[in-house]
């Protein structure tokens, strides 16, 4: 298992959010106090919400920007080796505080002169835009800053763009007005979600970590799956799925659970690249795993409108099940193909002691119950924190004292910094899209380029989401694709409906989940697959080969979104209980076929002809239609019988 220093080194290399200074002296106390104050402010407003939108969001932005300039160095190479905070970062931090306080201090005046910008407003607004771009570059990465900057250039030079991209353009004053003095720009919907739902759920995750639940997930996974064929790989899948509930970052998830599981897989006999691929694929799936999905899922609630977070989580449940089932099946077949066994008894933690701590899962189960009962999302997260504190008192080893609570509040705020920067920067993009009408123009352009073909539109959208996701966090990726590509998908899905018809919930959720999925999959799609690269840093394997293996193992994520767009029964919307059970059953059987075809092993090794036949059979079973299910099941039984009859002696596949 990797040491904390080794884990930190990998995180800093592949995750911009972790490349922070290790501040000393007075700055250590300033940062600690600032992060604690940030969390206290957010908890205070989440309990009573005493502030207007402008004040709430601007203070949230001010906290994030000020702390980012102290914690995150201007150059990545500076890292933790240069712990001194330069004078210019102190100045930027102080200016950020001023920006955060501008709306609270001058709220009355700003509201009275809405639509007009004074000279001071102009200066503050320009500073807010520039500091947001720089903070996003430091805490999130250069790609999102470049994308947001391109959108600003587009807004300014609109008349000079060709064809449908042309618009009348915006001057500096109107852009500043849009970006900082309306709720359509930096202080728009993305940062609204960051300053409410996302922050509280990040705090919930931080409290879970302090109880030791992350290590418990690993122990529980080993107890439940360690003895199975290819045990460590299945441990990685199980623990990463659980870890995803407390980590919104694919890379952080890889390092957190992979430092434990990847060495185990290598020791058992898995190839370096395959071991890293398993962990990367499983860790990336944590963001699509209900009940607590990635931060973009909370944005989805606001962007779609008229839906609850529970509806989003429920819709994502079967696709997430299929995702992890697919990885589980393929690691199993790979283990059988290579002849790997499970872990030995002396490698398994004490079962009785591990199962005795099963109460640590109560906060997560509680969140599910709270959402199911219709409790508002933010209040459910607050109750989850309270339940975590209560559960922690069940045992001395998990009990949280005052110091632990304070550290959890600080850690939660620290993880929120990059999210705040990303959502503020994404607000710039959304503001330009709304103001210039670019969203509608690009949606129409996308439909035109695809010739009105829904399949081609989905393929173009998938490629755009993956390319954008190679350098942008899921939140920013989702904001861009949901404002540009999702409307195109919705338009084509509603062609047979009246022109003035309201967009059905099932159509909106399927379109938005489609772009959400592929934004996440970008983390394991070569050539830039950050989660896979982080896994290769632990396994010692080739980064690109690790990425190829992770993408292959996560094949369900490339298939399922197409299926639920064409037939949303997989989303459990407007479907009967029997339909849901049948769709789930056939889809899992389909994943068995696809897994066997991709790995090249079922009851025995498959030849290339069998592999070519088996994969389409799996696709037929995954697609939720009666005729495809009947044909697929028939062919599945035939191929299974052939495999069984001709299997090598003793090569029976068992779980």
Q: What is the dihedral of CA 463, 465, 468, 470, to 10 degrees?
A: -80
Quickly state the pLDDT bin for 347 (edges 50, 70, 90).
confident
> Which of 172-176, 338-342, 391-395, 562-566 has the highest mean predicted lDDT (pLDDT)?
172-176
State how far the Cα of 437 lies from the Cα of 632, in Å rounded to an integer.
Answer: 45
Structure tokens at 468: 């954008």
pLDDT score of 118 more than 80? yes
Q: At what angle do helices 199-210 and 362-372 cross, to 10 degrees?
A: 150
**Alpha carbons 231 and 227: distance in angstroms, whole number:** 6
Burial environment of residue 390 by CB neighbours within 10 A (0 to 12, 13 to 18, 19 or more): middle
Burial of 429 per CB tally in 10 Å (0-12, 13-18, 19+) = buried
Tens digits of residue pLDDT in 163-190: 878 888 889 999 999 999 999 999 998 9
Note the pLDDT of residue 80. 43
If pLDDT is split at 50, 70 and 90, which confidence band does 577 have?
Answer: confident
Rounded percentage of the chain residues whose pLDDT exceeds 70:
94
Tell whether the model's pLDDT for residue 476 goes beyond 60. yes
pLDDT tens across 294-303, in order? 778 888 988 8
Mean pLDDT in residue range 580-596: 91
Q: Residue range 492-509: average pLDDT? A: 80
pLDDT tens digits along 188-244? 989 999 998 889 988 998 898 888 876 787 788 888 888 888 787 888 787 777 776
Please tell me which residue, 649 or 88, carries the higher pLDDT value.
88
Cis upstream peptide for 410 (omega within 30°):
no
Q: Measure the CA–CA gap between 622 and 559, rounded to whole angstroms.
A: 9
* pLDDT the model gives residue 65: 98
Return all residues near 230 (Cβ < 8 A) that are at least 6 apart: 268, 270, 331, 332, 334, 335, 336, 340, 341, 342
pLDDT in tens, 29-64: 999 999 999 999 999 998 876 789 999 999 999 999
What average pLDDT does this structure show over 232-260? 75
- Angle of helix 250-268 relative to helix 231-243, nearest 10 degrees, comes to 170
Half-sphere exposure of residue 478: CA atoms within 13 angstroms, side-chain side: 28
pLDDT for residue 2: 65
Average of pLDDT values for 541-557?
A: 89
Q: What is the mean pLDDT of residues 525-544?
A: 86
- 68-102, pLDDT tens digit by residue? 999 999 987 644 446 789 999 999 999 999 999 99
Q: Residue 365 CA to chain centroid, in angstroms? A: 20
Which pLDDT score is estimated for 627? Answer: 92
590-647 per-position pLDDT tens digit: 999 999 999 999 988 898 899 999 999 999 998 878 899 999 999 999 999 999 988 7
| Mean pLDDT value across residues 405-422 | 93
> Which pLDDT does position 540 carry in this prediction?
87
- Does pLDDT of 509 surpass 60? yes
CB 12, CB 18: distance < 8 Å: yes
Taking each helix axis from N to C end, the angle separating 530-539 and 543-553, rounded to the nearest 10 degrees, works out to 120
pLDDT of 653 > 50? The answer is no
Mean pLDDT of the chain: 86
Global pTM reads 0.85
**pLDDT reading at 450 higher than 50:** yes
Q: How distant, in Å, are the alpha carbons of 9, 364, 383 from that of 369?
A: 38, 9, 11
Q: Which residues contact 36 (CB under 8 A, 6 or more apart)?
A: 406, 409, 410, 413
Q: Please state, as a whole number, how many other Cβ atoms lie within 10 Å of the Cβ of residue 144.
A: 29
pLDDT of residue 77: 63
Query: Which is nearest to 284 in space by CA: 324, 330, 344, 226?
Result: 324
Answer whether residue 654 shows pLDDT above 50. no
Residue 350 has pLDDT above 80, yes or no: yes
Q: Which residues contact 478 (CB under 8 A, 6 or more apart)?
A: 296, 299, 300, 515, 516, 519
């Amino acid at each position: 298992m990797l040491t904390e220093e080794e884990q930190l080194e990998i995180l800093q290399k592949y995750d911009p959010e972790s490349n922070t200074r290790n501040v000393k002296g007075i700055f250590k106390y300033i940062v600690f106090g600032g992060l604690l104050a940030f969390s206290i402010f957010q908890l205070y407003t989440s309990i009573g919400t005493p502030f207007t939108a402008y004040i709430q969001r601007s203070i949230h932005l001010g906290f994030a920007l000020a702390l980012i300039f102290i914690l995150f160095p201007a150059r990545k190479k500076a890292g933790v080796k240069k712990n001194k905070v330069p004078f210019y970062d102190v100045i930027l931090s102080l200016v950020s505080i001023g920006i955060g306080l501008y709306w609270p201090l001058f709220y009355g005046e700003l509201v009275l002169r809405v639509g007009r910008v004074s000279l001071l407003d102009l200066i503050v607004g320009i500073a807010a835009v520039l500091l947001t771009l720089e903070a996003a570059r430091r805490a999130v990465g250069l790609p999102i800053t470049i994308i947001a900057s391109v959108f600003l250039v587009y807004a300014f030079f609109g008349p000079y763009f060709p064809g449908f991209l042309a618009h009348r353009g915006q001057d500096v004053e109107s852009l500043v007005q849009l970006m900082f003095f309306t709720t359509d720009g930096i202080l728009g919907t993305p940062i609204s979600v960051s300053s409410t739902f996302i922050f509280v759920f990040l705090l919930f995750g931080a409290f879970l970590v302090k109880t030791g639940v992350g290590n418990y997930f690993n122990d529980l996974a080993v107890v439940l799956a360690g003895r199975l064929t290819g045990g460590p790989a299945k441990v990685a899948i199980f623990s990463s799925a659980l870890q995803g509930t407390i980590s919104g970052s694919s890379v952080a998830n890889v390092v957190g659970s992979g430092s434990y599981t990847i060495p185990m897989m290598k020791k058992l006999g898995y190839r370096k690249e395959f071991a890293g691929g398993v962990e990367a694929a499983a860790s990336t799936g944590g963001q699509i795993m209900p009940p607590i999905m990635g931060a973009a899922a909370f944005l989805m609630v606001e962007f779609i409108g008229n839906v609850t977070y529970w509806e989003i989580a429920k819709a994502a449940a079967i696709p997430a099940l299929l995702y992890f089932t697919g990885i589980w099946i393929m690691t199993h077949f790979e283990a059988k193909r290579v002849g790997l066994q499970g872990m030995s008894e002396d490698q398994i933690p004490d079962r009785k002691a591990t199962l005795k701590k099963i109460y640590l899962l109560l906060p997560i189960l509680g969140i599910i119950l709270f959402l199911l009962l219709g409790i508002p999302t933010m209040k459910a997260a607050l109750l989850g924190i309270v339940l975590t504190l209560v559960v922690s008192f069940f045992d001395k080893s998990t009990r949280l004292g005052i110091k632990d609570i304070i550290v959890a509040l600080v850690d939660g705020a620290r993880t929120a910094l990059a999210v705040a920067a990303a959502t503020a920067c994404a607000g710039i993009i959304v503001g330009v899209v709304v103001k210039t009408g670019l969203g509608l123009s690009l949606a129409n352009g996308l439909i035109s380029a695809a010739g009105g073909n829904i399949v081609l539109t989905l393929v173009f959208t998938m490629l755009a989401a993956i390319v954008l996701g190679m350098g942008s966090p899921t939140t920013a990726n989702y904001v861009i694709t949901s404002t540009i590509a999702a409307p195109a998908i919705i338009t084509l899905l509603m062609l047979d409906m009246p022109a003035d018809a309201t967009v059905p919930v099932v159509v909106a959720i399927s379109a938005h989940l489609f772009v959400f999925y592929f934004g996440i999959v970008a983390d394991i799609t070569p050539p830039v697959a950050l989660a896979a690269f982080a896994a290769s840093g632990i396994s010692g394997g080739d980064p690109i080969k690790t990425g190829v293996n992770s993408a292959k193992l996560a094949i369900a994520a490339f298939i399922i979104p197409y299926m639920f767009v064409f037939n949303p029964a997989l989303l459990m919307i407007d479907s009967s209980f029997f339909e849901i059970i049948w769709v789930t059953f056939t889809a899992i059987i389909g994943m068995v076929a696809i897994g066997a075809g991709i790995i090249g092993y079922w009851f025995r090794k498959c030849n290339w002809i069998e592999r070519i036949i088996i994969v389409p059979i799996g696709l037929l079973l995954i697609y939720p239609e009666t005729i495809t299910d009947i044909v697929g099941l028939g062919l599945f039984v035939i191929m299974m019988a052939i495999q069984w009859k001709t299997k090598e002696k003793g090569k029976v596949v068992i779980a």
